[in-house]
Amino acid sequence: MAFVKDFKWKHGMNVKELVDSYQNIGFQSIELKKASEVFVKMKKNNAKIFLTFTSNMVTSGLRGFFAQLIKLKMADVIVTTTGSIEEDIMKANGEKFKIATFNEDDVELHEQGVNRIGNLLLTNETYMRFEDLMLEYLNKLYEKKKRWAISDFIKEIGLMLNDEDSILYQAAKNNVPIFCPAITDGGLGFHLYLFQQKHPDFIIDPVQDFGNILLSTSQDENKGVIALGGGLSKHHAILCTLLNGGANYAVYMTTAHKTSGSVSGATTNEAKSWGKVKDESDVATVIGDVTITFPIAMIAALEQLKEEGLLK
């Protein structure tokens, strides 16, 4: 049986040492330590890692970290929402998002053509410039072929970008598929609709992509899920693992709680009832702001993997 130990800071402490101390503090710190351990196990046991996240995390500065994880081979399949695709493209083309507060005057922001995501701000002008970019990309894609699976469509755009901190760029460069099943749920969907009115033979096919994600893994392959936030991105990945025998490893990080009965709040243990996660799998569920919990847990894992020579 483990016992509570008093935490103490020491000069020169690295992130791994900090997280190691979490296993004896209590409450969510213990789950965060478990999460870091599961990240290490996924990599050591050659699991196919499904990394899922919601678009607000790409609005934040986590975007560059996700791109870095792709480069470090810590993500083999990505599932996300439309806002992630849009905002990655925006940032890759030089757009800057401002930091504000959670208590802005939202009526005044609206009058100024500014949109708030928590304590971050995006202008309407950003979306207008994005519209021009998308028209350019869509014309190029239409010239290549008329029908695209969503993941192929996203990869092709990634190949047009030139930003080491871009998720789409790194995914395309490293052959990591990005699945976005609800691609119409955002400004990008509107641009696709308008383009299709002029080019009715231009098709973005979500059903073909459902087959692509199912065939991205197999019953026999070790599978790991890192679900940051919830909703569609999380569910699409764990549905894939369900149909392929269940995940061997799973870490859920969310602000939602299990009492809501939602996918976002569903724990890794609840996933076992569906077979999305195997009965004997290594799991952790961390409740808290992902912009805080994920970098700490993942960096501790990266430091251990680097020490053991398991990172390139």
Q: Are 228 and 290 in contact (CB under 8 A)?
A: yes
Bridge partners for 114 per DSSP: 123
10-residue averages of pLDDT along the chain (312 residues): 94 96 96 98 98 98 98 98 98 97 98 98 97 97 98 98 97 98 96 97 97 97 97 96 96 95 93 93 96 98 96 82
Count the alpha carbons within 13 Å of 189 in the hemisphere toward its beta carbon.
Answer: 12
Alpha-carbon distance of 171 to 84, in angstroms, equals 13
Q: Which two tokens stand for residue 144?
A: 């290549």
pLDDT tens figures, 34-50: 999 999 999 999 999 99
pLDDT for the residue numbered 285? 96
Which of the four CATH numbers 3.30.390.50, 3.40.50.1220, 3.30.980.20, 3.40.910.10 does domain 30-88+128-307 have? 3.40.910.10
Q: Which of 15, 39, 14 is nearest to 310 (CA)?
A: 39
3-class SS of residue 309: coil
> Residue holding tokens 């708030």?
116
The residues spanned by each domain of the chain are: 30-88+128-307
pLDDT for the residue numbered 128? 96
Give me the amino acid identity at 71.
Answer: K
3-class SS of residue 248: strand
Q: Which of 93, 92, 116 is nearest to 103 (CA)?
A: 116
Query: Does residue 160 come out as left (phi exceeding 0), alpha (psi in the -120 to 50 range) or beta?
Result: alpha
The residues annotated as belonging to the active site are: 276
Give me the amino acid identity at 77.
Answer: V
> Residue holding tokens 């190949």?
159
Give me the amino acid identity at 272.
Answer: K
3-class SS of residue 280: strand
DSSP 84-100: HHHHHHHHHTT--PEE-
Q: Which of 250, 280, 289 is nearest to 41 (CA)?
A: 250
pLDDT for the residue numbered 2? 87
pLDDT for the residue numbered 184? 96
Q: Are 282 and 41 in contact (CB under 8 A)?
A: yes
161: phi then psi, degrees, rounded to nearest 5: -90, 160
pLDDT for the residue numbered 173? 98
